[in-house]
Chains A and B, each alone.
Chain A
Amino acid sequence: MKLRNNLRKCRFERDEITQEVLAKEVGVTRQTIISIEKSKYVPSALLALKLVKYFGKRFEEVFYIIDDVD
Protein backbone atom coordinates (compact mmCIF):
# COMPACT_ATOMS: atom_id res chain seq x y z
CA MET A 1 0.00 0.00 0.00
CA LYS A 2 1.16 3.52 -0.73
CA LEU A 3 0.27 6.91 0.68
CA ARG A 4 -0.95 9.45 -1.85
CA ASN A 5 -2.24 12.98 -1.39
CA ASN A 6 -4.24 15.84 -2.84
CA LEU A 7 -1.79 18.49 -1.71
CA ARG A 8 -1.48 20.08 -5.13
CA LYS A 9 -5.26 20.29 -5.48
CA CYS A 10 -5.54 21.73 -1.96
CA ARG A 11 -2.98 24.41 -2.80
CA PHE A 12 -4.93 25.49 -5.84
CA GLU A 13 -8.18 25.54 -3.93
CA ARG A 14 -6.49 27.73 -1.33
CA ASP A 15 -5.85 30.79 -3.54
CA GLU A 16 -3.26 28.91 -5.59
CA ILE A 17 -0.60 29.34 -2.95
CA THR A 18 2.90 28.39 -4.00
CA GLN A 19 4.89 25.46 -2.66
CA GLU A 20 7.24 27.97 -1.08
CA VAL A 21 4.45 29.68 0.88
CA LEU A 22 3.06 26.35 2.04
CA ALA A 23 6.55 25.22 3.06
CA LYS A 24 7.02 28.35 5.16
CA GLU A 25 3.61 27.92 6.79
CA VAL A 26 4.36 24.41 7.99
CA GLY A 27 8.06 24.98 8.66
CA VAL A 28 9.76 22.82 6.04
CA THR A 29 11.71 23.40 2.82
CA ARG A 30 10.12 23.75 -0.62
CA GLN A 31 11.90 20.56 -1.69
CA THR A 32 10.03 18.66 1.03
CA ILE A 33 6.65 19.88 -0.26
CA ILE A 34 7.67 18.98 -3.84
CA SER A 35 8.60 15.44 -2.72
CA ILE A 36 5.37 14.97 -0.75
CA GLU A 37 3.28 16.14 -3.72
CA LYS A 38 5.07 13.66 -5.97
CA SER A 39 4.53 10.98 -3.28
CA LYS A 40 8.26 10.36 -3.20
CA TYR A 41 8.49 11.22 0.45
CA VAL A 42 6.06 10.12 3.17
CA PRO A 43 5.67 12.94 5.71
CA SER A 44 5.77 12.34 9.45
CA ALA A 45 2.44 12.24 11.30
CA LEU A 46 3.22 15.68 12.73
CA LEU A 47 3.88 17.27 9.33
CA ALA A 48 0.86 15.55 7.75
CA LEU A 49 -1.36 16.90 10.54
CA LYS A 50 0.14 20.38 10.16
CA LEU A 51 -0.71 20.30 6.44
CA VAL A 52 -4.24 19.07 7.07
CA LYS A 53 -4.75 21.74 9.74
CA TYR A 54 -3.42 24.45 7.44
CA PHE A 55 -5.95 23.56 4.73
CA GLY A 56 -8.75 23.16 7.28
CA LYS A 57 -9.72 19.76 5.89
CA ARG A 58 -10.19 16.27 7.23
CA PHE A 59 -7.19 13.96 7.05
CA GLU A 60 -8.76 11.65 4.44
CA GLU A 61 -9.47 14.62 2.17
CA VAL A 62 -5.76 15.38 1.90
CA PHE A 63 -4.12 11.96 2.32
CA TYR A 64 -5.32 8.55 1.14
CA ILE A 65 -3.96 5.04 0.67
CA ILE A 66 -3.85 3.10 -2.60
CA ASP A 67 -3.13 -0.58 -3.11
CA ASP A 68 0.00 -1.60 -4.99
CA VAL A 69 -0.71 -2.52 -8.58
CA ASP A 70 1.28 -5.50 -9.85
Chain B
Amino acid sequence: MNTKMFIFLILVLSVIAYWLLPKTRFAKRLKMNEKLFYAINVIGILCGVAGLAVSLGLGEMIMTGHYFELILLPAVLVYLYSAVIMKVQGEGTPYDEKQNYNMTQAAAISLPFSMGAMFVLYAMYKEAVFEGLLWFPVYVFFTLTAYSAGSLFYFRKN
Protein backbone atom coordinates (compact mmCIF):
# COMPACT_ATOMS: atom_id res chain seq x y z
CA MET B 1 0.00 0.00 0.00
CA ASN B 2 1.48 3.35 -0.91
CA THR B 3 1.71 6.30 1.47
CA LYS B 4 -1.09 8.26 -0.19
CA MET B 5 -3.52 5.35 0.14
CA PHE B 6 -2.50 4.70 3.75
CA ILE B 7 -3.12 8.32 4.76
CA PHE B 8 -6.42 8.40 2.89
CA LEU B 9 -7.55 5.17 4.57
CA ILE B 10 -6.63 6.43 8.04
CA LEU B 11 -8.51 9.67 7.46
CA VAL B 12 -11.61 7.86 6.14
CA LEU B 13 -11.56 5.53 9.18
CA SER B 14 -11.14 8.53 11.48
CA VAL B 15 -14.14 10.31 9.99
CA ILE B 16 -16.21 7.11 10.33
CA ALA B 17 -15.05 6.86 13.97
CA TYR B 18 -16.05 10.51 14.46
CA TRP B 19 -19.63 9.68 13.49
CA LEU B 20 -19.87 6.23 15.10
CA LEU B 21 -17.99 6.54 18.42
CA PRO B 22 -20.51 8.91 20.10
CA LYS B 23 -23.23 6.33 19.41
CA THR B 24 -21.40 3.42 21.04
CA ARG B 25 -21.09 2.45 24.71
CA PHE B 26 -17.55 3.85 24.68
CA ALA B 27 -19.00 7.34 24.47
CA LYS B 28 -19.28 7.54 28.29
CA ARG B 29 -15.54 7.02 28.59
CA LEU B 30 -14.68 9.83 26.21
CA LYS B 31 -13.75 12.77 28.40
CA MET B 32 -11.21 15.53 28.18
CA ASN B 33 -8.84 15.53 31.12
CA GLU B 34 -5.52 17.01 32.10
CA LYS B 35 -3.44 14.09 30.79
CA LEU B 36 -5.17 14.20 27.42
CA PHE B 37 -4.59 17.95 27.19
CA TYR B 38 -0.87 17.34 27.85
CA ALA B 39 -0.83 14.49 25.33
CA ILE B 40 -2.48 16.59 22.60
CA ASN B 41 0.06 19.36 22.99
CA VAL B 42 3.08 17.07 23.39
CA ILE B 43 2.06 15.28 20.17
CA GLY B 44 1.68 18.70 18.53
CA ILE B 45 5.20 19.66 19.60
CA LEU B 46 6.71 16.33 18.51
CA CYS B 47 5.00 16.45 15.09
CA GLY B 48 6.01 20.10 14.66
CA VAL B 49 9.66 19.58 15.58
CA ALA B 50 9.92 16.36 13.54
CA GLY B 51 8.28 18.12 10.58
CA LEU B 52 10.70 21.04 10.80
CA ALA B 53 13.71 18.73 11.00
CA VAL B 54 12.55 16.61 8.06
CA SER B 55 11.62 19.71 6.02
CA LEU B 56 15.08 21.18 6.49
CA GLY B 57 16.76 17.82 5.97
CA LEU B 58 14.91 16.52 2.95
CA GLY B 59 13.88 19.77 1.32
CA GLU B 60 11.01 19.58 -1.13
CA MET B 61 11.00 15.78 -0.92
CA ILE B 62 8.87 16.16 2.21
CA MET B 63 6.01 17.16 -0.09
CA THR B 64 6.68 14.91 -3.08
CA GLY B 65 7.29 11.87 -0.87
CA HIS B 66 4.16 12.60 1.24
CA TYR B 67 6.21 12.73 4.45
CA PHE B 68 4.41 15.99 5.21
CA GLU B 69 1.04 14.27 5.59
CA LEU B 70 2.59 11.31 7.45
CA ILE B 71 4.26 13.51 10.06
CA LEU B 72 1.17 15.69 10.46
CA LEU B 73 -1.16 12.69 10.79
CA PRO B 74 -0.78 12.05 14.58
CA ALA B 75 -1.57 15.72 15.32
CA VAL B 76 -4.61 15.62 13.03
CA LEU B 77 -5.82 12.43 14.74
CA VAL B 78 -5.55 13.80 18.29
CA TYR B 79 -7.39 16.97 17.26
CA LEU B 80 -10.05 14.79 15.65
CA TYR B 81 -10.26 12.80 18.89
CA SER B 82 -10.91 16.01 20.82
CA ALA B 83 -13.60 16.83 18.23
CA VAL B 84 -15.24 13.47 19.04
CA ILE B 85 -15.18 14.36 22.75
CA MET B 86 -16.73 17.74 21.90
CA LYS B 87 -19.49 15.94 19.99
CA VAL B 88 -20.15 13.54 22.90
CA GLN B 89 -20.24 16.34 25.46
CA GLY B 90 -22.51 18.41 23.23
CA GLU B 91 -20.87 21.62 24.37
CA GLY B 92 -18.94 24.30 22.52
CA THR B 93 -15.56 23.06 23.65
CA PRO B 94 -14.21 19.93 25.37
CA TYR B 95 -11.65 21.96 27.33
CA ASP B 96 -12.14 23.61 30.70
CA GLU B 97 -12.13 27.39 30.97
CA LYS B 98 -8.47 27.74 31.93
CA GLN B 99 -7.39 25.46 29.10
CA ASN B 100 -9.44 27.61 26.71
CA TYR B 101 -7.80 30.73 28.14
CA ASN B 102 -4.31 29.23 27.80
CA MET B 103 -5.02 28.15 24.21
CA THR B 104 -6.10 31.71 23.42
CA GLN B 105 -2.85 33.00 24.94
CA ALA B 106 -0.93 30.46 22.85
CA ALA B 107 -2.77 31.52 19.69
CA ALA B 108 -1.97 35.17 20.43
CA ILE B 109 1.71 34.39 20.89
CA SER B 110 1.99 32.02 17.91
CA LEU B 111 0.61 34.70 15.56
CA PRO B 112 3.60 37.07 15.86
CA PHE B 113 5.98 34.08 15.97
CA SER B 114 4.57 32.65 12.74
CA MET B 115 4.67 36.09 11.12
CA GLY B 116 8.32 36.31 12.11
CA ALA B 117 8.87 32.87 10.58
CA MET B 118 7.26 34.09 7.35
CA PHE B 119 9.62 37.07 7.23
CA VAL B 120 12.61 34.74 7.68
CA LEU B 121 11.27 32.43 4.97
CA TYR B 122 10.75 35.40 2.65
CA ALA B 123 14.35 36.49 3.20
CA MET B 124 15.60 32.95 2.57
CA TYR B 125 13.64 32.71 -0.67
CA LYS B 126 14.95 36.10 -1.71
CA GLU B 127 18.52 34.91 -1.11
CA ALA B 128 17.68 31.65 -2.91
CA VAL B 129 18.45 29.52 0.18
CA PHE B 130 15.02 27.89 -0.23
CA GLU B 131 13.19 27.02 -3.41
CA GLY B 132 9.82 25.72 -4.46
CA LEU B 133 7.10 24.69 -2.02
CA LEU B 134 9.27 24.25 1.07
CA TRP B 135 7.79 27.36 2.70
CA PHE B 136 4.49 25.55 3.20
CA PRO B 137 5.58 22.61 5.43
CA VAL B 138 8.06 24.83 7.30
CA TYR B 139 5.31 27.36 8.05
CA VAL B 140 2.76 24.69 9.08
CA PHE B 141 5.17 22.81 11.36
CA PHE B 142 6.56 26.00 12.87
CA THR B 143 3.07 27.27 13.71
CA LEU B 144 2.03 23.87 15.11
CA THR B 145 5.13 23.80 17.34
CA ALA B 146 4.65 27.38 18.55
CA TYR B 147 0.95 26.87 19.29
CA SER B 148 1.34 23.51 21.07
CA ALA B 149 4.37 24.66 23.08
CA GLY B 150 2.55 27.88 23.99
CA SER B 151 -0.56 26.02 25.18
CA LEU B 152 1.52 23.70 27.33
CA PHE B 153 3.70 26.51 28.68
CA TYR B 154 0.78 28.71 29.74
CA PHE B 155 -1.16 25.77 31.17
CA ARG B 156 1.78 24.86 33.40
CA LYS B 157 2.89 28.41 34.16
CA ASN B 158 -0.39 30.06 35.21
- The yes or no answer to B33 lying at the interface (CB within 8 A) is yes
- Quote the shortest CB–CB distance from A38 to chain B (angstroms): 9
Are B96 and A41 in contact, CB atoms less than 8 angstroms apart? no
* Alpha-carbon gap, A42 to B101, bound state (A): 10
CB neighbours (8 Å) of A31 from chain B are 34, 98, 155-156
Chain A nearest Cβ from B117, distance in angstroms: 29
Asked if A28 is at the interface (CB within 8 A of a chain B CB), the reply is yes
Instruction: Type the 1/0 row for B92-117, where 1 means its CB is closer than 8 Å to any CB of A.
Output: 00001111010000000000000000
Q: Which residues of B contact A27 (CB under 8 A)?
A: 96
Complex Cα distance, B34 from A35, in Å, reads: 14
Closest beta carbon of chain B to A39's beta carbon, Å: 10
Residues of B within 8 A of A28 (CB): 96-98
Chain A 34-58, CB within 8 Å of chain B: the 1/0 string?
0100001101100100000000000
Q: Can you name 20 extra interface pairs (CB under 8 A) apart from A32-B97, A32-B99?
A: A28-B96, A28-B97, A28-B98, A29-B33, A29-B34, A29-B96, A29-B98, A29-B99, A30-B34, A31-B34, A32-B96, A32-B98, A35-B98, A35-B158, A40-B157, A41-B98, A41-B101, A41-B158, A44-B97, A47-B97
Residues of chain A whose beta carbon lies under 8 Å from any beta carbon of chain B: 27-32, 35, 40-41, 43-44, 47
29 A-B residue pairs with Cβ-Cβ distance under 8 Å, sorted by A, are A27-B96, A28-B96, A28-B97, A28-B98, A29-B33, A29-B34, A29-B37, A29-B96, A29-B98, A29-B99, A30-B34, A31-B34, A31-B98, A31-B155, A31-B156, A32-B96, A32-B97, A32-B98, A32-B99, A35-B98, A35-B158, A40-B157, A40-B158, A41-B98, A41-B101, A41-B158, A43-B97, A44-B97, A47-B97
